[in-house]
């Protein structure tokens, strides 16, 4: 196990390096630059800025310099507004993680419950209702949902403020973020639960008189979890890094909008930092997923 994790960590570092190289060179290859403005920056100022941020050096050297700084824990400063990148990422991630964490929790809990109910009431009314609404949930993109929520709950009903400086409300953004993964988890759970309910070991358990709830939780649900976990790992990583659309509509300063803005502004240091951050998070989520497999199903080996 320890050996396996060690191996995975080495692989993780390699993949993060590859991601960083691809991002760095592609980002520099796309047209545009960080100091382009409607009113042009003077040639002198541009020169000072390029020197300050090493942009006057050959691209290969820039990459080496960047990696070198990164090894020393220096993520650099934003080319766009001079902010410290690491402070910025931490601050934004706290917001996105809080929001995304709650959304992920909601999605997982409700998704599992609804999925199990649907499987157990197969072809009866609860099942049909759940499947109807989850189909809707997977079909509706988050920006549609977010706009609809804003329209209904903020403007028509007035239950929540659209924006508040003193008391920001996370209920609507959490709903907007969690509906899709929740619907997806529900469907996954239902399918794999149905599958395991038909297995021999469930029949055996029932036959030898194990109580109904125990059959469901210990035998059926546990084995049904493997495909769900496969989805949940990357989903959590993804949702934690925020959604530009939901953040913009509900005026939330998270990582999702930072990522998009940094690309629009060609804020190279910020693009690199957010991409690497997301890559690291993804790699870890995948590692945790694999470990979770082992805990759920001891038959799975890491060979």
Cβ closest to other proteins, residue 123 vs residue 301: 123
Nearer to other proteins, 53 or 293 (CB): 53
Tokens of 33: 């630059």
Query: Does 30 contact other proteins by CB under 8 A?
Result: yes
Kindly determine how many residues on this chain lie close enough to bind other proteins according to the rule CB under 8 A.
66
Q: Is 206 in the site for other proteins (CB under 8 A)?
A: no
Question: Which value, to the nearest 10 degrees, does the dihedral of the CA atoms of residues 184, 188, 193, 199 take?
Answer: 170
Structure-block tokens of residue 277? 């951050």
**Which residues between 44 and 63 bind other proteins (CB under 8 A)?**
44-46, 48-49, 52
| Tokens 């399918």, residue located | 191
Among 265, 272, 278, 283, binds other proteins (CB under 8 A): 265
Binding residue for other proteins (CB under 8 A) from 144, 171, 295, 300? 144
Q: Which residues contact 136 (CB under 8 A, 6 or more apart)?
A: 183
Q: For residue 228, what is the enclosing H or E element? A: helix 222-240
* Residue 36 binds other proteins, judged by CB under 8 A: yes
**Those residues with Cβ within 8 angstroms of residue 268's Cβ, 6 or more apart along the chain or in another chain:** 27, 28, 34, 53, 55, 79
- Binds other proteins (CB under 8 A): choice among 163, 201, 217, 302: 163
Residue 77 engages other proteins in binding (rule: CB under 8 A):
yes
Quick check: 242 and 236 in contact, CB under 8 A? Answer: no
Distance CA 267, CA 265 (A): 5
Positions touching other proteins (CB under 8 A) are: 30-33, 36-46, 48-49, 52, 77, 80-83, 88, 91-92, 132, 136, 139-141, 143-144, 147-148, 150-151, 154-156, 158, 161-166, 168, 244-245, 247-254, 257-258, 260-261, 263-266
């Amino acid at each position: 196990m320890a050996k396996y994790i060690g191996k995975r960590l080495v692989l993780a570092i390699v993949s993060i390096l590859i991601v960083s190289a691809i991002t760095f060179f592609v980002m520099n290859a796309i047209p545009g630059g960080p100091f382009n403005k409607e009113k042009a920056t003077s040639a002198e100022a541009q020169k000072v800025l390029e020197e300050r941020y090493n942009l006057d050096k050959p691209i290969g050297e820039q990459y080496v310099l960047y990696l070198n700084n990164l090894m020393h824990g220096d993520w650099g400063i934003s080319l766009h507004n001079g902010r410290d990148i690491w402070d910025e990422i931490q601050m934004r991630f706290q917001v996105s993680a809080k929001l995304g964490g709650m959304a992920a929790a909601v999605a997982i809990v409700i998704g599992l419950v609804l999925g199990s109910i649907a499987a157990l009431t197969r072809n009866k009314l609860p099942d049909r209702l759940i499947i109807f609404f989850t189909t809707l949930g997977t079909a509706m993109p988050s920006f549609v949902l977010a706009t609809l929520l804003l329209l209904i709950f903020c403007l028509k009903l007035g239950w929540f403020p659209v924006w508040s400086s003193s008391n920001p409300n996370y209920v609507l953004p959490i709903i907007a973020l969690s509906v899709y993964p929740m619907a997806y988890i529900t469907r996954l759970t239902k399918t794999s639960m149905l599958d395991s309910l038909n297995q021999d070991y469930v029949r055996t358990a029932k036959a030898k008189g194990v109580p109904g709830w125990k059959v469901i939780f210990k035998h059926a649900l546990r084995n049904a979890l493997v495909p769900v976990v496969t989805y949940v790992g990357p989903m959590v990583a993804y949702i934690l890094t925020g959604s530009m659309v939901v953040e913009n509509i509900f005026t939330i300063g998270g990582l999702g909008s930072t990522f998009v803005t940094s690309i629009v502004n060609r804020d190279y240091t910020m693009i690199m930092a957010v991409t690497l951050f997301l890559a690291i998070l993804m790699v870890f989520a995948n590692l945790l997923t694999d470990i979770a497999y082992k805990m759920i199903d001891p038959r799975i080996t890491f060979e």
